[in-house]
Amino acid sequence: MFFIINSREKRQEAANFVARLPASPLYSIEIKPYKKNRSLAQNRTMWMWYHVLADHLGCEPDDVHDQMKVRVLGVERKIVAGQALILPRSTTDLDTTAMARFMEAIEALAVELEVKLPIPDDYRYAMEGGRI
């Protein structure tokens, strides 16, 4: 179960849910500040932009994505099956604010390359405070 507690009623609803849990099996409950993940509009627009940039650069959209992740988010070192790897950080867990900054970096690259990026209505709406 997942609760976003934004009112006294929601807090009571969550407390009632926990109180009704049976004693067995054991449960783990984590409480952390709410973070709104990147929006679908942001993700759709990002990939649309990657296709435009990839066409201009003569590469694949995934290549543009990897390049942007390294440029903006950096890399992380991991040991996988005993092998040391250096991987770009992921955009998956970015909240809407961090994703907006990431998108600004994509726009800056497009300006640098003199490529005009389309701005879909749902992305514009989401960036102006709407919900999509």
pTM: 0.67
Give the separation between CA 12 and CA 115, rounded to whole angstroms.
52
Give the separation between CA 132 and CA 123, rounded to whole angstroms.
8
- pLDDT tens readout for residues 78-109: 999 999 999 999 998 898 889 999 999 999 99
Q: Calculate what percentage of the chain has a pLDDT beyond 70.
A: 89
The closest of 47, 49, 68, 45 to 125, measured between CA atoms, is: 45
Contact 44, 123 (CB under 8 A): yes
Mean pLDDT on 11-32: 89
Give the separation between CA 75 and CA 73, rounded to whole angstroms.
7
